[in-house]
């Protein structure tokens, strides 16, 4: 993936690298859950609410200036993706939805930080908090993506950031609020099904970003790029992750979708570039 015109603006960027909470401030989540969450791409924004109080409410912040510029190349790249996603969505909101787009804030951190949705640590992976409208990423996640998940490549990294901005779009469109209303009112199995549709739609939005960013002359995709993003989508499907974590899969507990579903929806977003095709909630194949 090549930049044609990268937007390096830092007006919606909060750099918390080098600032972290002292160890022990985040914890009590339980070993297995941490492992499972660690494997997920993008914390479910709704589940994060349930983690409120699980950490980072107390503790002292420590600043390590030697880590303030850690993973600087990854920061420049991800911020560029984040800004380009905002540019793409501003145009789609204005021209296709007749609405004003409100930009989220991009936060990079090292090890641990706090959000209005609760504590965040490197293990939880990138996530979007709908209460403060911020996308949180510990940039070292991208090393995990390329090494443990064997999904290296620029577009694989870009997909992660664009997926999180996709959750912000869902907030602005009222989709997250609609889902919140079901919390506690339907069975966990039913709720998980809705959540899968939410995640697959964010995958579609990531694909749509790639399509539109190329069309708007912001990026240029090169041979192998699409494969690397699809590989990322495949590597972080719930069935694959569950098999790695527990040796078998249980579809009722899927919250992000299978590898095949994630690949399918990312690719559909990329191929069509059309927000009208993004309705995972009424797709017959997902019911």
8-state DSSP, 94: I
CB closer to Zn ion, 111 vs 199: 199
Task: Map tokens 């549709």 to a residue.
Answer: 197
CB closer to Zn ion, 59 vs 166: 166
Q: Measured at CB, which residue is nearest to Zn ion?
A: 42
- Looking at residues 131 to 190 of the shown chain, list those that interact with Zn ion (rule: CB under 5 A): none
CB closer to Zn ion, 138 vs 199: 199
8-state DSSP, 114: E
Q: Cβ of residue 23: shortest distance to Zn ion, in angstroms?
A: 27
Choose among 166, 73, 177, 173: nearest CA to 126: 166
CB closer to Zn ion, 199 vs 239: 199
- Residues 205, 267 contacting (CB under 8 angstroms): no
For the chain, list the strands marked E by DSSP. Answer: 2-3, 13-16, 19-21, 61-63, 105-109, 112-115, 118-121, 127-129, 134-138, 219-220
- Residues 158, 1 contacting (CB under 8 angstroms): yes
- Looking at residues 97 to 136 of the shown chain, list those that interact with Zn ion (rule: CB under 5 A): none
Encoded one letter per residue, x for contact with Zn ion by CB under 5 A and - for no contact, window 7-46 reads -----------------------------------x----
CB closer to Zn ion, 122 vs 202: 202
CB closer to Zn ion, 42 vs 273: 42
Q: Cβ of residue 202: shortest distance to Zn ion, in angstroms?
A: 5
- Looking at residues 48 to 87 of the shown chain, list those that interact with Zn ion (rule: CB under 5 A): none
Contact range with Zn ion by CB under 5 A, out of 198-206, 224-232, 245-253, 273-281: 198-206
Choose among 194, 173, 172, 206: nearest CA to 281: 194
Q: Please enumerate in sequence order all residues whose Cβ is within 8 A of that of 120, keeping only pairs 6 or more positions apart, or say none.
A: 43, 56, 109, 112, 113, 114, 127, 136, 138
- Residues 203, 163 contacting (CB under 8 angstroms): yes
Q: How many residues bind Zn ion (CB under 5 A)?
A: 3
Contact range with Zn ion by CB under 5 A, out of 49-57, 192-200, 221-229, 271-279: 192-200
Q: Cβ of residue 22: shortest distance to Zn ion, in angstroms?
A: 29
Contact range with Zn ion by CB under 5 A, out of 48-56, 135-143, 200-208, 221-229: 200-208
Distance from C-alpha of 111 to C-alpha of 101, rounded to nearest angstrom: 31
Residue 153, SS3 per DSSP: coil
CB closer to Zn ion, 25 vs 39: 39
Binding-site ranges for Zn ion (CB under 5 A):
42, 199, 202
């Amino acid at each position: 993936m090549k930049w044609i015109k990268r937007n390096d603006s830092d007006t919606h960027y909060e750099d918390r690298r080098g600032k972290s909470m002292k160890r022990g401030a985040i914890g009590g989540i339980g070993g297995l859950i941490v492992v499972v969450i660690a494997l997920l791409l993008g914390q479910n924004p709704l589940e994060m609410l349930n983690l409120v109080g699980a950490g980072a409410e107390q503790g002292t912040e420590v600043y390590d200036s030697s880590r303030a510029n850690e993973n600087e190349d990854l920061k420049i790249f991800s911020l560029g993706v984040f800004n380009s996603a905002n540019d793409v969505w501003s145009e789609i909101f204005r021209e296709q939805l007749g609405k004003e787009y409100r930009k989220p804030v991009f936060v990079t951190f090292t090890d641990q930080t706090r959000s209005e949705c609760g504590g965040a640590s490197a293990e939880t992976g990138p996530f979007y908090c709908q209460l403060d409208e911020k996308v949180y990423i510990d940039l070292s996640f991208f090393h995990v993506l390329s090494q443990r998940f064997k999904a290296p490549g620029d577009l694989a990294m870009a997909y992660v950031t664009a997926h999180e901005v996709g959750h912000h779009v869902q907030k602005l469109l009222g989709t997250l609020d609609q889902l919140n209303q079901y919390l506690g009112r339907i069975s966990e199995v039913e709720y998980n099904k809705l959540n899968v549709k939410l995640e697959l739609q964010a995958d579609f939005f990531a694909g749509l970003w790639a399509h539109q960013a190329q069309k708007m002359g912001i990026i240029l995709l090169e041979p192998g790029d699409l494969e690397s993003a699809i590989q990322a989508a495949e590597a972080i499907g719930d069935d694959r992750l569950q098999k790695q974590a527990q040796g078998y899969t249980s579809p009722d507990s899927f919250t992000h979708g299978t590898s095949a579903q994630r690949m399918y929806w990312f690719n559909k977003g990329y191929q069509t570039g059309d927000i009208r095709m993004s309705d995972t909630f009424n797709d017959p194949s997902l019911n």
